[in-house]
Amino acid sequence: MAEIPPASAAEPLRLPATADEAQAVAAAQGWKIPEACLPGVVANLALLARHSAVFAAARHEDQA
């Protein structure tokens, strides 16, 4: 059994989390998200926030 050294940790970044926050980011990019998309977009932002937290962690719990 061998193990490679863990990589460096990073500071977690806050992502847009609500429909209003998502629209604000889109507006800064120069466009508007269609209303019908917002529930799915917010759900996917939540998933991305979870992934962001995982990779920013110093070491994940599933280490050997």
Please report, for residues 9, 29, 42, 54, the alpha-carbon distance to residue 39 in angstroms, rounded to integers and kept in the order given: 31, 20, 5, 23
Cβ of residue 50: shortest distance to another protein, in angstroms?
A: 8
Burial class (CB in 10 A: 0-12, 13-18, 19+), 31: exposed
Rounded distance between C-alpha atoms, residue 34 and residue 37, angstroms: 6
Give the x/- contact pattern for another protein in 32-51, rule: CB under 8 A.
xxx-xx--xx-xxx-xx-xx
Q: What is the smallest separation between the CB atom of 38 and another protein, expressed in angstroms? A: 9
Residues that bind another protein (CB under 8 A): 1-8, 10-11, 13, 15-16, 22, 25-26, 29-34, 36-37, 40-41, 43-45, 47-48, 50-52, 54-57, 59-64
